[in-house]
């Protein structure tokens, strides 16, 4: 079940791109949509200034760790992905799963980022009542030689920060996609087996050229 959704997740990887450089401040800074626009422009400008960094796995990994991952709520995403299994998981299982899920997305990002350097991204105004602490932001990726891709960011506020906890591509949710495939593995083999599979996969991926076959394994359609 882990060898699924390659094209879908590679498109999802691009969705992490706008989440770097600055924190999404709810009060001291503009709203999430404005910041996503600014951050997208800044990140793409940084990449275009030194495209060679996209060919260096260590630099891409460092860029991702520094600028992107701090603005994703992996705990919330992992909790949604596990669904009912989160409630019955031990503290140790939860911690291990969150870390391996984080590594999975990091490795996939490192694997795929260079494919999207020439894309442009437009961000729509945020939807919903931001005073509730949750909002959604729509976006569209224009790809050279390909049709546009429609994205959706789901964010919630933690303190003063807006954090992304789910992303959709053409209406298909990252959380829902992983939830479906992971749920079957857990049902058939148990949560520890799923975590062990992710540990092995991430270890192989870390030794590949930016993710290689192992990263693709988690995302093949």
**pLDDT of amino acid 192:** 97
**pLDDT of amino acid 126:** 92
Please, what are the domains in the chain? Answer: 6-217 (3.10.450.710)
Distance separating alpha carbons of residues 142 and 164, to the nearest angstrom:
22
**pLDDT of amino acid 217:** 38
Q: How confident is the model at residue 45 (pLDDT cuts 50, 70, 90)?
A: confident
CB atoms within 10 A of CB 74: 20
Distance separating alpha carbons of residues 159 and 2, to the nearest angstrom:
35
Q: Report the chain's mean pLDDT, rounded to a whole number.
A: 77
C-alpha Rg value of the chain to the nearest Å: 17
Distance separating alpha carbons of residues 167 and 137, to the nearest angstrom:
10
Instruction: Tell me the per-residue pLDDT of 90-120, one tens digit each, with 9 for 90 and over.
Output: 999 999 999 999 998 888 777 766 565 577 7
Q: How confident is the model at residue 87 (pLDDT cuts 50, 70, 90)?
A: very high
Its pTM stands at 0.76
Instruction: Tell me the per-residue pLDDT of 172-218, one tens digit each, with 9 for 90 and over.
Output: 888 888 899 999 999 999 999 999 999 999 988 775 554 443 333 33
Instruction: Find, among 21, 36, 200, the residue nearest to 122 by Cα.
Output: 36
């Amino acid at each position: 079940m882990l060898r699924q959704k390659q094209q879908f997740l590679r498109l999802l990887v691009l969705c992490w791109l706008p989440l770097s450089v600055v924190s999404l401040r709810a009060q001291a800074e503009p709203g999430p949509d404005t910041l996503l626009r600014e951050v997208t422009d800044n990140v793409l400008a940084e990449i275009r200034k030194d495209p060679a960094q996209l060919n260096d796995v260590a630099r891409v990994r460092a860029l991702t760790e520094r600028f992107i991952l701090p603005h994703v709520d992996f705990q919330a995403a992992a909790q949604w992905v596990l669904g009912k299994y989160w409630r019955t998981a031990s503290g140790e299982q939860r911690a291990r799963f969150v870390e391996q899920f984080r590594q999975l997305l990091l490795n996939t990002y490192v694997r795929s980022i260079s494919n999207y350097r020439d894309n442009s991204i437009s961000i729509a105004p945020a939807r919903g009542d931001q005073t509730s602490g949750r909002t959604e932001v729509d976006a569209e990726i224009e790809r050279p030689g390909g049709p546009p891709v429609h994205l959706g960011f789901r964010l919630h506020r933690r303190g003063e920060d807006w954090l992304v906890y789910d992303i959709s591509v053409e209406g298909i949710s990252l959380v829902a996609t992983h939830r479906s495939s992971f749920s079957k593995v857990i049902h058939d083999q148990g949560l520890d087996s799923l975590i062990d599979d992710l540990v092995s996969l991430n270890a192989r991926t870390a030794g590949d050229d930016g993710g290689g076959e192992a990263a693709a394994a988690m995302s093949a359609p």
